[in-house]
């Protein structure tokens, strides 16, 4: 696990977008695993800029997103499909048919989860996965628990995640209580993982990545098993190291 600390989120995001751009230059049909949330937004803006400057092309890139709220359709303005379209896909030359976000409004969610897992496999697996960290240590929506799931599944959101995400909704009552998320193995099978963490609210989690043990109550600690992980954070997120 490689730790990279930067003065500010801006510099950290520049570093992250350079890693992603290099990956795409090396393999034009790269499979990118993508996250939503506040943290990767500037990285996505940098990628759109690099695309505009003809530094990289997404024409052959395929993407799979980590998660989606249950019950929200892709045109709901708080769905993760909508987030991805407005924060990245609408601004780059990607073929939208090559972009995949779990369908939170599928009639048969279990079947959709199985199909999503198979899709990742059929694409040849994830070359580079982008992750954020929940304040409670979740990755994707693998929430702190006594047990963690391997594959894509439906999960209940914890009170702390509902609390953290209510800022995007009109009221807390509107935050969906469930989500579909890639599982721990779906994430850990990625060939390379980059984790972004900014601000003091992530400082405890960045510190937990230095601890010498795995804890299902802090799912991000399972990244220690992986051999190719870059943790990219600003000095506030690194303040407890
Ligand atoms: C989003 C996701 C979540 C976020 C995490 C951090 O697709 O999977 O795990 O990465 O909740 O969110 P922000 O970046 O908003 O602090």
Segment 27-34 mean pLDDT: 98
Residue nearest to atom 3 of ligand 1 (CA): 140
Q: Within 109-208, where are the H helices?
A: 109-122, 159-165, 184-188, 203-208
Catalytic-residue membership of 90: no
* Residue 17 near residue 43, CB atoms below 8 Å: yes
Give me 168's structure tokens.
Answer: 């995007």
* Residue 113 near residue 154, CB atoms below 8 Å: yes
Give CA–CA dist 56/25, Å, rounded. 7
* Residue 198 near residue 164, CB atoms below 8 Å: no
Interval between CA 237 and ligand 1 midpoint (Å) = 15
Neighbours of 198 (CB within 10 A): 25
pLDDT at 233 over 90: yes
Catalytic-residue membership of 204: no
Give me 84's structure tokens.
Answer: 């991805």
Cα Rg for the chain, rounded, in angstroms?
Answer: 17
* Pocket residues: Cβ below 6 A from ligand 1: 35-39, 66-67, 80, 132-134, 138-140
* Residue 67 near residue 96, CB atoms below 8 Å: no
Catalytic-residue membership of 143: yes
pLDDT at 12 over 90: yes
Q: Give the end-to-end CA distance of the chain in Å, rounded to a whole number.
A: 15
- HSE, side-chain direction, 13 A CA sphere, residue 119: 22
Q: What is the mean pLDDT of the chain?
A: 97
Q: How high is the pLDDT of residue 10? A: 98
3-state secondary structure 175-196: CCCEEEECCHHHHHCCCEEEEE
* Residue 195 near residue 230, CB atoms below 8 Å: yes
Q: How high is the pLDDT of residue 143? A: 96
Instruction: Please give the class, per CATH, of domain 15-197.
Output: alpha beta
Catalytic residue among 51, 98, 136, 165: 136
What are the residue boundaries of the structural domains of the chain, listed by start?
A: 15-197
Output the pTM of the full model: 0.97
Segment 112-125 mean pLDDT: 98
Interval between CA 123 and ligand 1 midpoint (Å) = 24
Residue nearest to atom 2 of ligand 1 (CA): 140
Summarised one tens digit per residue, pLDDT across range 194-215 is 999 999 999 999 999 999 899 9
Task: Look up the ipTM and state it.
Answer: 0.99
Give CA–CA dist 120/80, Å, rounded. 18
Give me 158's structure tokens.
Answer: 């914890």
Interval between CA 16 and ligand 1 midpoint (Å) = 16
Interval between CA 133 and ligand 1 midpoint (Å) = 6
């Amino acid at each position: 696990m490689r730790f990279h600390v930067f003065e500010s989120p801006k510099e950290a995001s520049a570093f992250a977008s350079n890693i992603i751009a290099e990956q795409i230059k090396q393999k034009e049909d790269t499979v990118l695993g993508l996250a939503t949330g506040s943290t990767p937004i500037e990285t996505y803006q940098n990628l759109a800029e690099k695309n505009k400057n003809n530094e990289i092309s997404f024409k052959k890139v395929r993407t799979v997103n980590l998660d989606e709220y249950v019950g929200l359709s892709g045109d709901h303005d708080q769905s993760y499909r909508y987030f991805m379209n407005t924060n990245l896909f609408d601004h780059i030359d990607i073929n939208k048919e090559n972009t995949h976000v779990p369908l939170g409004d599928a009639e048969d969610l279990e079947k959709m989860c199985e199909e999503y897992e198979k899709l990742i496999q059929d694409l040849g697996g994830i070359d580079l996965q982008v992750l954020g960290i929940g304040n409670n240590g979740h990755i994707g929506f693998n929430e702190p628990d006594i047990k963690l799931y391997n594959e894509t599944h439906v999960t209940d959101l914890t009170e702390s995640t509902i609390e953290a995400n209510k800022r995007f909704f009109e009221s807390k009552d509107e935050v969906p209580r469930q989500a579909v998320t890639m599982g721990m193995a779906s994430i850990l099978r990625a060939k390379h993982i980059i984790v972004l963490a900014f601000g003091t609210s992530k400082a405890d989690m960045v510190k937990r990545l230095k601890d010498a043990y795995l804890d299902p109550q802090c799912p991000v600690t399972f990244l220690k098993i992986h051999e190719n992980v870059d943790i990219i954070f600003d000095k506030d997120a690194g303040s407890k190291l």
